[in-house]
Structures are given as structure tokens and as C-alpha cells.
Amino acid sequence: MENTDNLKKTALNAMHYEMGAKMVPFAGFDMPVQFEGVNIEHETVRKGVGVFDVSHMGEFRAKGPKAFDLVQRCTSNDIASLYDGKVLYTTLPNGKGGIVDDMLVYRISAEEYFMVPNAANIDKDWAWMSEVAKEMGMELGKEFMNESNSWSQLAVQGPLALKAMQKLTSASVEDMEYYTFKIIEFAGVKDIIFSTTGYTGSGGCEIYIPNAEAVNVYKQVLEAGKEFGIKPIGLGARDTLRLEMGFCLYGNDICDTTSPMEAGLGWITKFVDGNNFIDREYNEKQKAEGVTRKLVAFEITGKGIARHEYEICDAEGNHIGEVTSGTMGPSVKKAIGMGYVKKEFSKVGSEIFIKIREKLIPAVVVRLPFYKGEN
């Protein structure tokens, strides 16, 4: 067994080993990449229900009279559009035209917001938002808190997820709308955040649990899901599921040097009155003038699989961009990917070529999502 002493461990770490997971370092954590195998786990989520340990994700909380202003200033989406129990997806612009991170924001009340940054970016996001909070005169640890070490998170995903989870609570969760949440008693534990969000495109929920209750709740989730064929799912299938939907992965498809406009995230970049977010002017200018490169989705029409950082070329072999994410999509049964290309090659139907082992393999730009639901 590899030495994992220098890696952080989630509260469910020992259980993953017990269940025979293949473990890998991910974002500084010792995480399960697969249990039975990526393809079978992927199909389990698409057709039934699977459970992911995503406790490596971060959790921040802003409270008090300045909480709204902090979150509105730091995020590109319009926090004023939220109501209690509503979630939104947003970017954190970095003041230089790029993206610090993408995250979910939960409105608990008009003066309390809960945020979920990516695992690899917890420290960076905390430092960035703390600077803004301090400028606003907010007290760190009291009005803006990093709770990342206190929470565990389970993503129960798939068309049968809510039906299975309804067994563990008297609160009505089966009919919850997408991107909403409730704070409920779940699996006998009070004040659980139960959220109809996810990173798979197959429905389900994400559940935030205090670390001390994680093992107990996880066991109950597996038991409740047994009749629906629930299985533990690793990060490998999490990646193929999200890529079939065209969901961005920070560090691959978006980063400190890509803008929301280039990444096709204009829909979460709101130029409404009162939304004076960092980089608003930059993004408005880019929207008006247009971008020189765009994140596109493509299907490979030749033979081969695109991988992160592979070169994208035109028919003559000239460099026009690079692949950010690529895989063989288990549900769509095609080699798919995303990447940045020069704007003139970004139209749906454009022919592009992926350089795989020095060969130019043809591909075509397509409209997202790749996966359009079970037929």
C-alpha cells in the first residue's frame, strides 16, 4: 500500500478501503477513483443510484449585515436573485479577467450564505474572499468562516436517488425542485443541508453532514438505497458523468487565465443593476467586443481519445487550441472532449483535428450536452 501519510483523509476514508476502492491522491486528499470500474459505476448513476464521497469539497459561510455585499462582490452571478432555500452556480472572477474558482452559493437567509468551493482551491478561495471581506470591515471567523474541516458531503446521484433518500427523512424531498435545498433531520441527524444539486446530469442530491456523523449517515444511505441497487461511486465516474454533460472542471476547462465569456459561462455572469462584481467591466467589454477563443465541445469522428493538453489543429496542422478535457463517454459511446479553439473554429459543425501521437485525428464541434438522457 502506498504511503498516504501526507494526504488529508475524509471521514469515510477507512470505509473506502474496506469496500475495496482503488485510492489515488486528488487535491491533497486520499480519494477513491473507482470501486468496481468506471464504466459500470457511470451506468449505475445514469440508470439507478450511486453515492460519492465528496467530503474533500470546501464550505464557507458568510453571516451578518455585510454577507450579501461580500458574496455579490466576489461572484459573477446575481446573488440578489436568490431566495431562502435556493442555490446558484457562479464563478469567482480574479480581478485580472480570469477565474479564481467556480462554486455553489446557498442562501440560508438574507444575511447568511453558504458556499462550496472546489477542494483544490479552498486555501486560494479563502485567501481571495478574506481580502475582500477585510476591506469591507468583516470579522474573519465570525462574519466570514471557513468550515471546510467540519463538514462531510455525500453526492447521491441518479434517477432513483431522491426516492431512495426519502426513506431517511420525514421532510418531503422527492418533489424538490432542481437547485434548491432544505435544512432537515436526515438519517436521525438534525440540521443536515439537503440539496438537489449535482455534477452528473442524472438528478439526485448533495447532503452536508457534520464529520462526526458521516460514517453513520453513509451506512444508512447505502442501506436505504439497497433495494434500488445503490453502489459507491469513485471520482473516475464523476469525471465521465460531468464531461458527458459539458460541466466545467476547474483546473481543466476553466482556470486563472480563462474568462467566463471564453468558457461559455456568460449565463452565470449577470450584468444587472446592483451587481457590481469584480471584473464586471472587463467581462462587459469582452461580451460586447467578442472573444478571440472559445471553449467548445467536440466528438472525435476518427479513431482515438482526446486527453487534457492535447493540441487542436486545423486541417493543415496549424495550432488552433488545446484540449481541456477528454474521455470515451460510457453513455454516449463516443470519444468526446472540450477545448479552447480560435473563435473562427468554434461554430457547431466546424471540423477540427486533435493531435494524437503525432497524427491528426478528425473531430467535429457539437452542441452540449453530449448526453441527452436515456432514450
Q: What are 297-312's pLDDT values in tens digits?
A: 999 999 999 999 999 9
> From the CB of residue 124, how many other CB atoms can be counted at a distance below 10 Å?
16
Given this model, what pLDDT does residue 375 score? 57
Given this model, what pLDDT does residue 133 score? 98
The DSSP H or E segment spanning 39 is helix 38-47
Domain ranges of the chain: 13-57+150-244, 60-146, 292-369
Instruction: Check whether 374 has a pLDDT greater than 80.
Output: no
Instruction: Check whether 12 has a pLDDT greater than 90.
Output: yes
Peptide bond into 369 cis (omega under 30): yes
Give the single-character DSSP code of 345. G
Residue-wise pLDDT for 79-137, tens only, equals 999 999 999 999 999 999 999 999 999 999 999 999 999 999 999 999 999 999 999 99
Given this model, what pLDDT does residue 5 score? 82
pLDDT band at 2 (very low <50, low <70, confident <90, very high): low
Given this model, what pLDDT does residue 130 score? 98
Tell me the fold of 292-369. Elongation Factor Tu (Ef-tu); domain 3 (2.40.30)
Q: Quote the cell numbers at residue 358.
A: 503525432
Given this model, what pLDDT does residue 370 score? 98
Q: Is pTM beyond 0.95 here? A: yes
Given this model, what pLDDT does residue 138 score? 98
Given this model, what pLDDT does residue 4 score? 78
> From the CB of residue 182, how many other CB atoms can be counted at a distance below 10 Å?
17
Beta-strand pair 50-53/231-233: parallel
Residue 162 C-beta-side C-alpha neighbours within 13 Å: 19
Round the average pLDDT of the chain to a whole number and report it: 97
The DSSP secondary structure of 68-94, one letter per residue, reads HHHHHHH-SS-GGG--TTBEEEEEEE-
Tell me the fold of 13-57+150-244. Gyrase A; domain 2 (3.30.1360)
Residue-wise pLDDT for 121-169, tens only, equals 999 999 999 999 999 999 999 999 999 999 999 999 999 999 999 999 9
Q: Quote the cell numbers at residue 179.
A: 437547485
pLDDT mean over 265-287: 97
pLDDT mean over 302-330: 98
Instruction: Check whether 225 has a pLDDT greater than 60.
Output: yes
The DSSP H or E segment spanning 284 is helix 280-289
Nearest to 199 by CA among 57, 31, 37: 57
Tell me the fold of 60-146. Alpha-Beta Plaits (3.30.70)
- Quote the percentage of the chain above a pLDDT of 90: 98
- Quote the percentage of the chain above a pLDDT of 70: 99
Q: Quote the cell numbers at residue 245.
A: 454533460
